[in-house]
Structure 1
């Protein structure tokens, strides 16, 4: 069994540490020729465990020139943080390892040099790795690769970035057959499933469980001398108390669920920051320069607090952080565990976190999340078959690297777990699509990207296509963004084009923690200057994070355990007690529906607890069925916990609105005739390379891309309805955009356990949902005062005051 090299063991001992059992076990398993998945708590030294075989190789002097180890992470910030954290130990051990990062922020000169003179250790992202594999020299560059470390595997494997990474790993295994894969994560709900994903098909990955760490210290912040709001998500009531927490700790990391809330929360804190405490902001729309600057300030201990989004969720290790604050609901226990783990990043030291609920349902969700964390329960997305649009992109990438044999590439692709089920027929359709766009598009030369030669090999139809591919490759399809910059050229980041188009000279907005005044919009850039006037905050079209099924089940259990309520704040206890008296509370396994009149309208509230995407989809489907049944629907509103519909006539039989055939008839018709399928098709077209967004020196606008994709969509719907991209779009619409699996859960409950309560007035439980009516399209936090007034008026009716 391979042992830790004495030089490395001495380095640990010199810091008062010891090599942990799981670190030594990873080394032993890799030394025995196995792939390894390490599931260990935050602060357990996973990064050093992942690099232990590399460090030992260096200490033993067996490293050759060239690329030895590849480290893949989901975040650019994480790659740069690992680079900072790895350079010092490597230097102190005298190992002579060259360690470099390669991300979208890396200069083109450095990227070019890395392809011909790679470091021993390269830190990168799935997208950058895929691009590297598209170069002819990739076969030489990766031939000597020994290890690939996949960090935060749970954050990638279940989505399209994981599909791309799985395909890239299969290619790397072909180029370097002896390469071993090492996966790392702190929050795996299904370690066995992720181990199967990590290993090539036909091989196994050994599972290594890390040593248990100190239990986290997690609490819920409550309003001082006031009630928890009925509605809203910004938790602006907590700002004075959060500033007190910042003062009482060395460094505080404040997580929000959206970029809007990051800017909004930062602004609230800064407006009350009379002591000028150094507080920063970090999110994905800021410029690379701005992000690197704040990351360096955090690493150097120069900030007292940092407001951030998921851009810092994963693995970033700044040792001086001693408190994490979660603004709003955490939405999942695994996500919360990741964020909590950023504080006191040591296994034997408890991480400290405070949850700040924005409303009463979020308080219940926070209670459920704290219980899940204390129980060590993980949740997360399920693994799924790989996207065919991603497969098409991968085929084009390998064609850029050089000619390939179709049968050999299929065998390689099938060794990636998400693509193990690709049939010969489907593979032929993928090759046909990349070759000519498919049957309905094959007459157009611009879709001819690869050609089948007489030698039986596939190759690029024209060398210029390689440059075009590299300009457009990637999995994340962002909305059109406009750069925000000062007149001197200093870039602050990017805002969405729709928001920029709504601004004119003299208008103000808040971005990167600054109040800015627009000077002009020209050449794709928003030129600004600093302002002291109050400002709007840009709203971003990012995905909404739904509450996990696990947390939703815990919330339902809390609602049905009155003995627990005595521990809750008085206003929450009263809210639930009056609900139990005037109506009922939703039971586990049951679908509660409340119907009541209000202001000359008839309302029905469905307490599904299935998350916003599923409830939004149900609202669209149910109002269509209500129309067909003559109930004259007027609208609906959804949140994570409930769906409210209203109309001119009452719903007498809610089960009739939720029969299973709604997914056969109304669902298909709705999706096919809504923007959802067109949007999913547009994304699949961009990912697959059918539509190019980026041209040399020019980027197509979102309107241009939409126009092109809509034309192609209409042609395929008419002439080739089973086209590869239409199927890919349907898969996305079902899974990501409509969350049809959770919709089906509601329909199942409706058939077996629906409970319809007819009431004479709005119920207490319905108040948070009804308060959203007319506000659902507004950014979170934008109308807190109005929400408060409206909620109090509704609450007075519901509580019988």
Structure 2
């Protein structure tokens, strides 16, 4: 049995197809088969609605075959309201749900009655939840359930855990022990690079060169999942794949911006075995059993070994059957990254960065959830919260600050009634100031931040939905413009009642919708593996063209090394260029570009712009950098970051997300969702007000913390500086180097407005005066 005496929590780590989900439920089925238990016995929590539905289908088979009187139901955002009400009044024996739905259930006054008999909680794909605020919210909800049911047992399931002890601390009730059970990992996956006739391009992310080879693999296999790192790339690849699909093989597309009905059709077709290939994103990462999938293809470097292992596991979803996968690098540098990822998978070397303490915006939301359920004592709620793994280190002062924020909105906002949400009674208990506010709080529960999107529907065809595109992209469209969605080229007809109406347009070259999918950065561990590969000189696993590229770099300049920072400077295109090979991930390299150009401006070096990738930042300007060392003073960089962040759009975007989670800004009012523009306007006004009158407000502190570890990823810069320790290799050259060349083709160049502009303008004026013979005129 999974749970042993004295082990109230267990983490089970087993390979995909190893039966860990059934193992998680076996104690439940055995106990319920004996009868005598009324009401809710086991709660199953997963990160995906589709995964809960899949588990329900798989659970019902043995229950029905054994004739067991066990009720199994799911509860997600798609569950009808009538069934949700019935589940609260008469809960099933096993309830399958998501973190958001569970948080909502704990907010009701009758939660103690509904959960009174709960014996076990099974958290599936716990590694995925532990990496996000959804996991923090879930652990707070479990702390609340543990107060209702002191004997509650917890089980976490995963196939990909790089640090089992950290996951155990995350899952267990602090400071109780958590048992770790690791199953036989099974056979190594059958994983390799896809052989293509054509070499990958120097830059880009579409991998269009590999379309013929990918299509040939689809023909050879029953069902192939073709993973992409972004939704836009998935749309482009699906379109190109379909144009090359002369045999009309049934191929589908699946990602989070498509209409739910369309996604469900693809999922059902997959289960039936009707599709030969599915182009997809992270929407199919997790442990759903998709039947006859016998090949996984990863387009583009996976950026993270753990994610790659998870995706590989979708193929041959059976115990002791090796998963088969092929990697397709999108460009020349990604060849190196893919080979490094292959070696890491074979060495069972997973990666992952610790998340630190639980975020305080989630904490504020949980305080409001607790108030919805009824009056509470501050001491008891603090003890409950610190029993959750992510919040074990929460200080009382930190808790009190969150409580006061929930009660008054903070110093600068306490005069406004709308943020006066809690009050303390004479007996010391806290409660909602207005009980009617519970409805609005419940409407806004959750940590998933919706992008500012608009629905896309067919015009004149009954308004059938296609999916969603971002408001910013929709605003750029004029009637007649075309774009891709769901693999189809559509023509923009107009906007009506916040719905984008489109018509078919199969014969034109489309624009591409800017889907706001997760932008992955190469993990620290994978970056270090690449650096070690550079220095090993053993490049036999690399294709000949890539190995020759590295040899040429080594001859012309040098290759980056672990524990050192390579900086190259050279002239190109009439400008002075500097390349910093930090290998800190895209977000951190982007931040490095911002901070270095700011520092260069202070030193009079006239920077003009920069562009970043996962491994390097290229900066161009008017003056050559002769000594880069002073640019990398960490204290000066961080001081520059504070100044830059204060008025930057990044901070406003981060503030909006945290303020929404913390309950300061509502996305749902009276059951109606605000538009993205409405929400942005209100959050920008609040941000500017707090920045001016209360810059140390709790939400401003949270915003800076979130920006530093999320969009800015300053921790990676700290790690880089600590790793380098001042050991900077400056190579001054007279021309571009092989490793730097792809950076000149990289999109996303960021201009810098400063002294360089003034100098160029002055030079142009001087030249005009010389040409016109006016140079000798003095004013």
What is the Cα deviation at residue 536 of structure 1?
1.8
What is the Cα deviation at residue 748 of structure 1?
2.9
Structure 1 segments unaligned to the other structure (5+ residues)? 1-23, 778-801
The answer to whether the aligner puts 1:36 opposite 2:10 as a matched pair is: yes
Distance 2:21 2:347 in 1: 25
Distance 1:615 1:235 in 2: 23
Which of 721, 725, 733 is residue 695 of structure 2 equivalent to? 721
Matching residue of 1:139? 112
Spell out, residue by residue over 1:141-180, the C-alpha distance to the aligned partner (whole angstroms, 9 max, x if none).
Answer: 1111111111111111232111101100100111111110
The answer to whether the aligner puts 1:154 opposite 2:119 as a matched pair is: no
Distance 1:603 1:108 in 2: 61
Distance 1:570 1:282 in 2: 35
Which of 354, 369, 381 is residue 382 of structure 1 equivalent to? 354
8 A contact 2:193–2:327 mirrored in 1: yes
The answer to whether the aligner puts 1:421 opposite 2:393 as a matched pair is: yes
What is the Cα deviation at residue 528 of structure 1?
2.2
Q: Return closer, same or farther for 1:567/1:405 CA change in 2, 3 Å cut-off.
A: closer
Which of 171, 175, 185 is residue 202 of structure 1 equivalent to? 175
SS state of the match for residue 455, structure 2? strand
Which deviates more from structure 2 when the two are superposed, residues 551-560 or residues 470-479? 470-479
8 A contact 1:222–1:228 mirrored in 2: no
Distance 2:488 2:178 in 1: 48
Report the TM-score, using the length of structure 2 for normalisation. 0.93
Matching residue of 2:608? 634
What is the Cα deviation at residue 749 of structure 1?
4.4
The answer to whether the aligner puts 1:345 opposite 2:320 as a matched pair is: no
Q: Return closer, same or farther for 1:775/1:635 CA change in 2, 3 Å cut-off.
A: closer
The answer to whether the aligner puts 1:747 opposite 2:721 as a matched pair is: yes
8 A contact 1:598–1:761 mirrored in 2: yes
What is the Cα deviation at residue 300 of structure 1?
1.3
Matching residue of 2:672? 698
Distance 1:37 1:568 in 2: 38
Matching residue of 1:276? 248
Distance 1:773 1:34 in 2: 52
Which of 596, 599, 603 is residue 625 of structure 1 equivalent to? 599
8 A contact 2:13–2:159 mirrored in 1: yes
8 A contact 1:77–1:311 mirrored in 2: no
Matching residue of 2:221? 249
Distance 1:390 1:75 in 2: 20
Matching residue of 2:201? 229
The answer to whether the aligner puts 1:371 opposite 2:343 as a matched pair is: yes
Which of 293, 303, 311 is residue 331 of structure 1 equivalent to? 303
Spell out, residue by residue over 1:352-403, the C-alpha distance to the aligned partner (whole angstroms, 9 max, x if none).
Answer: 0000001111111110111111011111231311111111111111211222
What is the Cα deviation at residue 33 of structure 1?
5.2
8 A contact 1:658–1:750 mirrored in 2: no
Matching residue of 2:69? 96
Distance 1:466 1:571 in 2: 63
Distance 2:748 2:379 in 1: 56
What is the Cα deviation at residue 776 of structure 1?
7.8
Matching residue of 1:449? 421
Which of 553, 572, 581 is residue 528 of structure 2 equivalent to? 553
Spell out, residue by residue over 1:512-549, the C-alpha distance to the aligned partner (whole angstroms, 9 max, x if none).
Answer: 12222233311111122332133222012333110011
Structure 2 segments unaligned to the other structure (5+ residues)? 752-779
8 A contact 2:222–2:293 mirrored in 1: yes
Spell out, residue by residue over 1:449-492, the C-alpha distance to the aligned partner (whole angstroms, 9 max, x if none).
Answer: 12212232222222321221122221122221111122413222
What is the Cα deviation at residue 711 of structure 1?
2.3
SS state of the match for residue 651, structure 1? coil
8 A contact 2:457–2:499 mirrored in 1: yes
Matching residue of 1:522? 496
Distance 2:603 2:256 in 1: 46
Spell out, residue by residue over 1:13-47, the C-alpha distance to the aligned partner (whole angstroms, 9 max, x if none).
Answer: xxxxxxxxxxx4x1x52x66531011122221111
8 A contact 1:638–1:644 mirrored in 2: yes
Matching residue of 2:366? 394
What is the Cα deviation at residue 504 of structure 1?
3.1
The answer to whether the aligner puts 1:680 opposite 2:654 as a matched pair is: yes
Which deviates more from structure 2 when the two are superposed, residues 634-643 or residues 508-517? 508-517
Matching residue of 1:495? 469
Distance 1:241 1:283 in 2: 23
SS state of the match for residue 479, structure 1? coil
What is the Cα deviation at residue 65 of structure 1?
2.5
Q: Return closer, same or farther for 1:503/1:108 CA change in 2, 3 Å cut-off.
A: farther
SS state of the match for residue 293, structure 2? coil
Distance 2:636 2:200 in 1: 38
Q: Return closer, same or farther for 1:440/1:659 CA change in 2, 3 Å cut-off.
A: same
Matching residue of 1:614? 588
Distance 2:292 2:490 in 1: 32
Equivalent pairs counted in the alignment come to 748
SS state of the match for residue 53, structure 1? helix
Which of 413, 424, 442 is residue 470 of structure 1 equivalent to? 442
The answer to whether the aligner puts 1:286 opposite 2:258 as a matched pair is: yes
8 A contact 1:163–1:386 mirrored in 2: yes
Q: Return closer, same or farther for 1:657/1:750 CA change in 2, 3 Å cut-off.
A: farther
SS state of the match for residue 568, structure 1? coil
Report the TM-score, using the length of structure 1 for normalisation. 0.91
Matching residue of 2:274? 302
The alignment yields a C-alpha RMSD, in angstroms, of 1.7
Distance 1:104 1:503 in 2: 31
SS state of the match for residue 42, structure 1? coil
Matching residue of 2:89? 116
8 A contact 2:7–2:178 mirrored in 1: no
What is the Cα deviation at residue 658 of structure 1?
0.7
8 A contact 1:655–1:750 mirrored in 2: no
8 A contact 2:658–2:702 mirrored in 1: yes
SS state of the match for residue 322, structure 1? strand
Distance 2:39 2:280 in 1: 37
Matching residue of 1:513? 487
The answer to whether the aligner puts 1:406 opposite 2:350 as a matched pair is: no
SS state of the match for residue 722, structure 1? coil
Distance 1:753 1:664 in 2: 19
Q: Return closer, same or farther for 1:522/1:271 CA change in 2, 3 Å cut-off.
A: same
Distance 2:681 2:268 in 1: 42
Which of 543, 546, 568 is residue 569 of structure 1 equivalent to? 543
Distance 1:219 1:303 in 2: 24
Distance 2:660 2:598 in 1: 31
The answer to whether the aligner puts 1:480 opposite 2:461 as a matched pair is: no
8 A contact 2:453–2:676 mirrored in 1: no
Which of 315, 320, 328 is residue 292 of structure 2 equivalent to? 320
SS state of the match for residue 565, structure 1? coil
Distance 1:363 1:597 in 2: 28
The answer to whether the aligner puts 1:601 opposite 2:575 as a matched pair is: yes
The answer to whether the aligner puts 1:183 opposite 2:169 as a matched pair is: no
Distance 1:75 1:773 in 2: 33
